[in-house]
Amino acid sequence: MKYWLMKSEPDAFSVDDLAARPKKTEPWDGIRNYQARNFMRDDMKRGDLVFFYHSSCPQPGIAGIMKISKTAYPDETQFDESSKYYDPKATRANPRWLNVDVTLVKKTRLIGIQELRSHPQLASMQILRRGNRLSITPISEAEWQFIVSLIDA
């Protein structure tokens, strides 16, 4: 099993939006970064655990736990000319962009970025590195367990 952190702007899609979906499941679509796409395509497996991270908001931080419930498949938004994620170079025969389905495990108290930064055990987390813009990043098992202990404290 692998562990991940996936970022979303809460005004676009929040943990509460995921909680309101049927079966608390939704495609994680709109990814337009090759490294993030490759994580979904090559590394994410059904059952992997994910922190849902609210970004670009007044209080960024971990707001929930999800699991990968369906492995990578073509992101339909790349074919929709009315979507902001439309890609004219993508074809059904050769899709460029993928998504996975995520299912909410539970909402958590907000573990804000300042709280994450305050723990030396988390110093190597990619989300805490200056200039990190990736919306999907791997998390080590030790980092996962430490953050879960913060949530459960």
Q: Domain limits at 139?
A: 3-152
pLDDT tens sequence across 2-29: 999 999 999 999 999 999 999 999 999 9
- Domain CATH code at residue 108: 3.10.590.10
Looking at residue 153, what is its pLDDT? 75
What is residue 131's three-state secondary structure?
coil
Model pTM greater than 0.75?
Answer: yes
Lookup: tokens for 77? 């938004």
64: β partners: 52, 107
Total domains in the fold of the chain: 1
- Rounded Cα distance between 95 and 83, Å, is 15
pLDDT tens sequence across 66-115: 999 999 999 999 999 999 999 999 999 999 999 999 999 999 999 999 99
